[in-house]
Structure 1
Amino acid sequence: MTTPTGTAELRELVLPVHANHHDTLFAGQGLQLMAKAAFLAARGLAQQEVVMASVTSVDFLSPVAVGYQLTLRGWVSRIGRSSMTVCVSGIADKPGIPAEEVLKGVFEMVAVDATGRPAPINRSYLDKETA
């Protein structure tokens, strides 16, 4: 199964090493995983290197206990000249327990050239995908 261009999905098992003193996902770890999903979605769409410019919003909706699987889904919701807006949603589940949205955020990513400067996103292959 292939993931559509401009989307990414990754899964992580929440282990004690990811937890805070309440045995739930440490917010810094959650933010790191969300940033990774945003990066993968943006780089997949741009087909070039990207960097994070800003985090527009992050919401921690519910705690995620050790032992839960966290599925992060990122998708590009806006494409500019060299920038992209990437939305990320985190769903937690465990066998026998219904899945629940626990994280969400919006990230601004920028395509860059070899020197790290903003670079235009090549849209030619995007037009071919939608044709």
Structure 2
Amino acid sequence: MTVEENIRKSETRIFKAVFPNTTNHYDTLFGGTAMQMMDEVAFITATRFTRQTVVTVSSDKIDFRKPIPSGTIVELIGKVVHLGNKSLKVNVEVFTEQMYSEHREKAIQGEFAFVAIDENKKPIPIRK
């Protein structure tokens, strides 16, 4: 399988409903909760791509463009966007959509970097 085919195959999409227990006093999704969901999708994407043990080493430029209100659906999409020798970057986009209409828009975007590690938690090359 080519790298491009593996990138396509490893793209990850997860849907979640935003309930009141995940929102702040403005009735919008907590930023930290959004980042946790994004890191999870990025981790799954990186694992599906490498099929190795990976850990998050950084997050980069997470842009919160739109608030995500309680009672909406979010779709998180993770895609590998950069591949190094021992690391890779995953872009995550978060879209919000109304439950009872077709309205949908991008709310958040960010990148997460991962490193493949061995059983001693030392960085190792990513199998391509």
Structure 2 residue runs of 5 or longer lacking an equivalent are: 1-6
TM-score by length of 1: 0.88
RMSD between aligned residues: 1.3
Aligned residues: 121
1:85 to 89, 112, 124: 89
Match status 1:120 vs 2:125: yes
1:31 deviates by 0.4
Letter of the 2:60 partner, please give it: T
- Which residue number in structure 2 is paired with residue 35 of structure 1? 39
What are the Cα deviations for residues 67-106 of structure 1, in whole angstroms up to 9, with x where unaligned? 1001000000111111001100000001214101001001
1:44 deviates by 0.6
- Which residue number in structure 1 is paired with residue 13 of structure 2? 9
1:57 deviates by 1.1
1:47 to 43, 46, 51: 51
- Which residue number in structure 2 is paired with residue 126 of structure 1? none
Runs in 1 of length 4+ with deviation above 3 angstroms?
none
- Which residue number in structure 2 is paired with residue 62 of structure 1? 66
TM-score by length of 2: 0.90
**Distance in 2 of aligned mates of 1:53 and 1:22:** 31
Q: Secondary structure at the match of 1:110?
A: strand
**Distance in 2 of aligned mates of 1:7 and 1:81:** 20
Match status 1:101 vs 2:106: yes
Structure 1 residue runs of 5 or longer lacking an equivalent are: 124-131
**Distance in 1 of aligned mates of 2:40 and 2:117:** 17
